[in-house]
Amino acid sequence: MGNFRLLAHPWWVNLLLLVPFVAYFLFRREKPRLTGHQLLTSAIFALSFGFVEGAVAIYLGAAVGLLPGYAGTLRDVARLSADLHGQEILHLSNLPPSLLTVEVFREAATMLMLLSVAMLAEQKRGERLATFLWIFALWDIGYYVALRATVQWPNSPTSPDVLFLIPVPWTSQVWFPILISILTAAAILLTRQRGCMTECSNVESAADSIEPL
């Protein structure tokens, strides 16, 4: 932990630490109505998409020469890449302009995909926001879990990483996005409204269908 760094770069990226706390106080007042089934199905999507995101990072690492042994097995990759841990921050300088442009558009498309799922899942604004934050948090966690399970990176919570490229590169140590994602997911779970959403809806529909005498 000797190389621990508290702040991300640029400075305004550190404001993301407020997201889980703002979400908690916002949703504590008006609890989002999210069923266990909704949380589970969206979590499956988010974690699966996180693996896809991790796979893209692996392909980029191979493309720019920072993933030795990729022609062999994943065990070969993990073994031969051991000396390169901590150089992930150099991915940007090694990306050719063509791949960097594609990566920027891919990140924008990723955000649109996550937002679209949240928009389709819920009808109310607050519940859409809660669903988006839930999906985003688990997607981010799934990304790091996928990389750790496949190429044994990150090897430490203090490993440097490039979080995002829009509008400029966001950089921090790995613990930073993971902490925010865990706290955000916890805020959604702690504040969501539990109840008989489906059953109550069915009862209301049945009551509406009864004609007055």
DSSP 115-155: HHHHHHH-SSHHHHHHHHHHHHHHHHHHHHHHHHHHH---S
Q: Are 179 and 16 in contact (CB under 8 A)?
A: no
Q: What is the pLDDT along the chain (213 residues), one digit of tens a residue?
A: 558 999 999 999 999 999 999 999 999 988 999 999 999 999 999 999 999 999 998 888 888 877 777 888 888 887 776 555 445 544 666 778 898 999 999 999 999 999 999 998 767 889 999 999 999 999 999 999 999 999 888 888 999 999 999 999 999 999 999 999 999 999 999 999 875 444 444 444 444 555 554
* pLDDT one-digit tens code per residue, 96-153: 889 899 999 999 999 999 999 999 876 788 999 999 999 999 999 999 999 999 988 8
pLDDT of residue 147: 92
Task: Tell me if residue 52 falls in helix, strand or coil.
Answer: helix
Q: Are 193 and 30 in contact (CB under 8 A)?
A: no
Q: Are 28 and 187 in contact (CB under 8 A)?
A: no
pLDDT of residue 96: 86
What distance in Å separates the CA atoms of residue 116 and residue 69, rounded to the nearest whole number?
37
pLDDT of residue 47: 97
Amino acid at 207: A
pLDDT of residue 51: 97
pLDDT of residue 80: 72
Q: Are 172 and 11 in contact (CB under 8 A)?
A: no
Q: How many other C-beta atoms can be found within 10 angstroms of the C-beta atom of residue 107?
A: 16
Q: How far apart are the first and last CA of the chain?
A: 74
C-alpha pair distances (Å), 127 with each of 14, 132, 141, 182, 193: 25, 8, 21, 19, 10
